[in-house]
Structure 1
Amino acid sequence: MAPRYADDLSLAHVLADTADKISMDRFRALDLRVESKPDLTPVSDADQAVERALRATLGRTRPRDSVLGEEYGVSAAAAGPGHRQWVIDPIDGTKNYIRGVPIWATLIALMEGDQPVVGLVSAPALGRRWWAALGHGAFAGRHTAAATPIRVSGVRRIGDASFCYSSLHGWEETERLEPVLDLIRQSWRSRAYGDFYGYMLVAEGAVDIMVEPELSLWDVAALIPIVTEAGGVFTDLSGQPGPAGGSAVATNGKIHEEVLTRLS
């Protein structure tokens, strides 16, 4: 591993251990409190507790770094060129979480300027974790002692590809539903695994395409290093790499340009 990010990736695992304990203790709890945020998306007391705990740890261990979280915003000035910022989604897949569906995860990323350089996704209800650092490769397993390198697939045709999406509603709202439906019809298989999970399946080579039309920075920052270090390509719908575009197209790289063309 590049020594520059070894300590940061180790810290990300420590943060994930903390998050896993809190989120699993509240998963399927009868007294779980759920509220609606101003954008009408749900937030549980577990989302808030996880983010508070991770912010507290980062405040002690990385006091010079900025923190951006879904529930509590930016802890300091937003990261700029040469600056480091931790980006946290305490529970990605809150709707699954509050209904007892085990497909949810804590997303932890470190950004330098506008580039995610460390990414970790921990899905404790699935008993699985994925992580990567720039120049280090991508790995998956229950923990670092049981790590396995992961790699995207070698599929080269849409007709042989497994296509994944989160929901059709967002595509309808952005007036791109027909291109997505066409991809579904042309693909070998399609499934709506949703949220982080489709991207991790791309990184593992189990799925070849994952697309979403509207996303925030905390939704994607941790995913990008994992997909790209596994050999994949991650852009927005216009084909620009990085997390700033507000949309996502992740593929094994071999069919990326064709997917972008079809979605446009």
Structure 2
Amino acid sequence: MATAAPPQVGQLLREWRRRRRLSQLELSLRAETSSRHISFVETGRSRPSSVMVLRLAEELDIPLRMRNQLLLAAGHAPVYTESPLDSPRMVAVRRAVRQVLEGHEPYPAAVFDRAWNIVDSNASLALFTDKVAPELLKPPANALRVALHPDGLAPHIANLGQWRAHLMGRLRRQVAAGLEGALRELHDELAAYPCHEPEPDVEFPGPADIFVPLRLRHDGGELTFFSTVATFGTPLEVTTAELAIESFFPADAATAAALRSPAPPQ
């Protein structure tokens, strides 16, 4: 049985350019080359140098993993290494991550990779994970599955429809930006989970809203959080570029007081 030929570098670059909604002229101006050369590269009439591939990838804001794929498709060697997080060369990265996680106590924080698998967390994340079925926490535990699965955190989220729409929107944007087949499968899985609350297509904030909150039922009341997401600012390594640290903060005084009490909520 014949197998499909791998895509050429021109095809890949054209797809990325269209995803970024740029014309050949716009891309050529940004990359300081001619639109004729862009056209020749995309149609396969010209083989770009490794420098040109990386220049175009930079202007198209292509993830490092995909830049390596572009280089291979153009007949060049990859330039961005990928190392396991527990490897010796990643000591500085692990230390930085732990510093952020531990410094965020007593509030929950977790680190996940490009597939939303949790790779590290602080002790306060137990506020969320203690409510989750143990089988969902077996490595590699997926943060979105943990949040939205019926046996996960979902039954304890007071605004499940709103929070689910927020998470699914983030995942859809990631799929659209990164051409990740595995994330498409994850999206389809999560979309099939039941949700008995309306999910807004567009977020319309109320008069006092400044972020999408996570409202967690607890002890007859609610704990309310908002989150921030941090990434490494100047990564030149694939694993590092794909790490994200999500940190949860109390959104009201009652939640802050509950988490800062000598015996924080479990």
TM range (shorter): under 0.3
Q: In proportion to residue count, which structure has more strand? A: 1
Q: In proportion to residue count, which structure has more helix? A: 2
TM-score, length basis structure 1? 0.25
